[in-house]
């Protein structure tokens, strides 16, 4: 069974979702990610979905779960690279993805993480969400 | 039935030249002035068509829905489509078929004049045949016209929703006219594609030119804002006129999640600030020289 | 006059089957010339319904149909299962709009992504859901 690789990028972790997700893969990903966050004491996670041609409510929930789980471990999450057709479909679908930050690409995603983290540090609370 | 089937084909075979000539004469007199090239084209088409009809009639008599008439039907469908696109009227296109009636009846009369019953039967069969072919051209003509109109509507839709780059990373979308669900799709696509291309962080949707903002329009606007957000861009709405503001409150539409400004200029100033720009006005050179 | 030009069936018994159904819908939508957004809507709606068939219907199958009427072509996907059925269809369709998960969002969402949407279900007698998008 394939696993989704988690890369360390400076102080952040980067996950690139390229394959069609199915249940077991999603569960394994969350487990692996929580291990890695703790291991590297990361405070930011970037999820790159730029090759995903579809996001349904299952994947939407998965992204939400990852963000919630990461927050419990004192890490912020940003989803980057959503394709226009996917964004338009998600909006029609009615999936709001609240609790999940989004950015155009990895570069902008890192800026979002930096802003979120410095704000959290100032407030003294672990990563306040938008 | 077998004998009447062969009569039509027979007559077409024997009198092809006469029929062709008579037909061409009537066609050119019913069409507007044709150039030399157009004349040649019509002649060529007529000859080709007559041959196809001859073959079909020899096969299945006058049943135009049958297999052997398929080449004829396809020929007519193409011809009508071309004429529809070239600006011919519906009548001019149908006259391709109908002007064949008189020369065909004349030929039938010459061949079957001695047998009034057979003549009547064949004339009736020929009328039915040409009528059904004539209707086919009209249907095809209309279908092509509808396709042209639909394509033009689409182009108009796309042209009327331009996305403008006001500054690095700041886009403006001035909407003119009503915002229905079809237009919203185009608006969203144009905006999101522009966000990707220009890597913009901000988009201002200006609705000064939108005459009516009801619940549906408000929903479409909110969808557009949500879609832009998923692409990492913050969206604002500007051009909210006092009447619009009142309508929105009355309708109970919740725009609390979106920044709104009365004018595009206000929205632009705000986004510049958020994007980290500050503007300095240079002092005017007084009479110091 | 509506004609079914082509019909293809796919079983839905595992998660991998959902992926197969999605890919089949994508392929068919592409060959019918749907634009990218419409393709995505079809694939996403199909994914929602396939998942429902698996998770709540105990498995079933999906049938893809290419349709043609006088004016245009369409793609219809029909999901069948022999599961417990849906007791309150109205509620199932409306729940999805506000809640973030479960059966509701899949149905309501799939409906919003289609031009025509039909659902018939009786508790104890299985469920059939069909979605259709015209080109």
What are the chain B neighbours of A106 within 8 Å (beta carbons)? none
Q: Using an 8 Å Cβ cutoff, are A105 and A80 in contact?
A: yes
Nearest-by-Cβ selection for C101 from A20, A54, A61: A61
What pLDDT, on a 0 to 100 scale, did the predictor assign at position A12? 95
Q: Does the pLDDT value for residue C103 go beyond 60?
A: no
Question: ipTM of this predicted complex?
Answer: 0.89
With a cut of 70, say whether residue A130 has pLDDT above it.
no
B164-274, CATH topology level: Transcription Regulator spoIIAA (3.30.750)
A126 pLDDT higher than 60? no
Q: A84, B233: Cβ pair inside 8 Å? A: no
What integer is the mean pLDDT of A16-35?
85
Percent of chain B whose predicted confidence (pLDDT) is above 90: 30
Q: Which of B220, B211, B259, B257 is nearest to B238 (CA)?
A: B259
> So what's the pLDDT on residue C95?
54
Confidence of residue B5 (pLDDT cuts 50, 70, 90): low
Mind listing the pLDDT tens digit for each residue in B22-49? 888 888 887 767 777 888 888 888 888 9
Looking at every residue in chain A, the average pLDDT score rounds to 88
Say what the pTM is.
0.73
Note whether A87 contacts B231, CB cutoff 8 Å.
Answer: yes
Confidence category of residue B2, pLDDT binned at 50, 70, 90:
very low
Predicted confidence band of residue C89 (pLDDT cuts 50, 70, 90) = confident
Using CA atoms in the order B66, B72, B78, B83, what is the torsion angle rounded to 10 degrees? Answer: -120
Q: Best interface-test mutation with A: which of B193, B195, B230 has the largest number of A CBs within 10 A?
A: B230
Cα separation, A25 vs A19, whole angstroms: 10
Neighbouring chains of A at 3+ CB pairs under 8 Å are: B, C
| A6-123 CATH | 3.30.750.24
Chain A CB contacts of B196 below 8 Å:
84, 104
- What is the tens place of the pLDDT at every residue in B234-283? 999 999 988 888 888 888 888 888 999 999 999 999 999 998 898 888 88
pLDDT tens by residue, B119-146: 888 888 889 889 999 999 999 999 988 8
C48: contact with A, CB 8 A cutoff = yes
Q: What does the H/E/C string look like for chain C?
A: CCEEEEEEEEEECCHHHHHHHHHHHHHHHHHCCCCHHHHHHHHHHHHHHHHHHHHCCCCEEEEEEEEECCCCEEEEEEEEECCCCCCCHHHHHHHCCCCCCCHHHHHHHHHHCCCEEEEEECCCCCEEEEEEEEC
The domain limits of chain B are 2-152, 164-274
Considering the four listed CATH numbers 1.10.490.130, 3.30.230.70, 3.40.50.150, 1.10.8.870, the one that applies to the domain covering B2-152 is: 1.10.490.130
Residue C100 pLDDT exceeds 50: no
- Cα dihedral B90, B91, B94, B95, rounded to 10, equals -150
Sign of the Cα pseudo-torsion (B197, B198, B203, B205, in order): negative
On the question of pLDDT at B56 being above 60, the answer is yes
Dihedral (CA of B12, B17, B23, B26) sign: negative
For B172, which DSSP code? E
pLDDT value at position C51?
92
Please tell me whether residue A129 adopts helix, strand or coil conformation: coil
Q: In this complex, which of A23, A88, A95 lies closest to C37 when CB atoms are compared? A: A88
* Domains of chain C: total: 1
Domain of residue C23, residue span = 3-134
B244 strand-pairing partners: none
């Amino acid at each position: 069974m394939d696993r989704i690789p988690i890369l360390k990028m400076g102080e952040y972790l980067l996950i690139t979702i390229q394959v069609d997700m199915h249940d077991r893969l999603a569960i394994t990903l969350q487990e692996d990610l929580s291990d890695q966050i703790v291991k590297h004491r990361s405070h930011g996670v970037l999820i790159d979905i730029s090759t995903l041609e579809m996001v349904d409510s299952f994947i939407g929930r998965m992204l939400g779960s990852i963000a919630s789980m990461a927050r419990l471990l004192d890490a912020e999450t940003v989803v980057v690279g959503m394709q226009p057709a996917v964004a338009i479909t998600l909006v029609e679908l009615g999936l709001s993805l609240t609790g999940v930050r989004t950015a155009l690409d990895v570069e902008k995603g890192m800026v979002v993480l930096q802003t979120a983290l410095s704000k959290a540090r100032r407030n003294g609370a672990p990563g306040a969400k938008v | 039935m077998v004998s009447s089937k062969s009569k039509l084909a027979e007559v077409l075979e024997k009198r092809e030249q006469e029929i062709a000539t008579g037909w061409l004469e009537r066609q050119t007199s019913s069409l507007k002035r044709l150039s030399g090239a157009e004349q040649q084209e019509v002649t060529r088409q007529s000859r080709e068509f007559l041959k196809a009809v001859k073959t079909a009639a020899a096969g299945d008599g006058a049943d135009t829905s049958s297999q052997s008439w398929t080449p004829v039907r396809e020929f007519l469908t193409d011809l009508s489509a071309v004429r529809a696109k070239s600006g011919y009227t519906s009548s001019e296109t149908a006259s391709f078929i109908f002007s064949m009636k008189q020369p065909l009846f004349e030929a039938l009369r010459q061949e079957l004049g001695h047998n009034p019953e057979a003549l009547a039967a064949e004339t009736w069969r020929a009328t039915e045949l040409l009528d059904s072919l004539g209707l086919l051209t009209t249907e095809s003509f209309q279908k092509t016209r509808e396709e042209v109109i639909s394509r033009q509507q689409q182009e108009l839709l796309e042209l009327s929703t331009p996305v403008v780059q006001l500054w690095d990373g700041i886009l403006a979308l001035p909407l003119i006219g009503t915002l229905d669900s079809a237009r919203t799709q185009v608006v969203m696509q144009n905006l999101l594609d522009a966000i990707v291309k220009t890597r913009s962080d901000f988009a201002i949707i200006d609705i000064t030119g939108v005459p009516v903002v009801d619940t549906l329009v408000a929903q479409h606007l909110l969808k557009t804002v949500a879609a832009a957000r998923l692409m990492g861009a913050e969206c604002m709405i500007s051009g909210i006129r006092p009447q619009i503001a009142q309508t929105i409150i009355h309708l109970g539409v919740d725009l609390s999640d979106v920044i709104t400004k009365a004018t595009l200029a206000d929205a632009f100033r705000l986004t510049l600030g958020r994007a980290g720009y500050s503007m300095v006005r240079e002092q005017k050179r007084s009479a110091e020289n | 006059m509506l004609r079914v030009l082509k019909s293809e069936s796919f079983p839905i018994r595992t998660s991998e089957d959902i992926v197969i159904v999605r890919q089949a819908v994508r392929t068919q939508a592409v060959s019918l010339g749907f634009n990218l957004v419409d393709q995505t809507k079809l694939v996403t709606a199909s994914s929602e319904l396939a998942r429902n068939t698996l998770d709540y219907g105990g498995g079933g199958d999906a049938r893809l149909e290419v349709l043609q009427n006088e004016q245009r072509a369409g793609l219809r996907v029909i999901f069948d299962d022999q599961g417990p059925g849906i007791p309150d269809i109205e509620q199932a369709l409306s729940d999805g709009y506000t809640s973030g998960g479960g059966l509701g969002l899949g149905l309501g969402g799939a409906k919003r992504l289609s031009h025509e949407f039909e659902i018939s279900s009786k508790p104890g007698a299985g469920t059939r859901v069909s979605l259709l998008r015209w080109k």
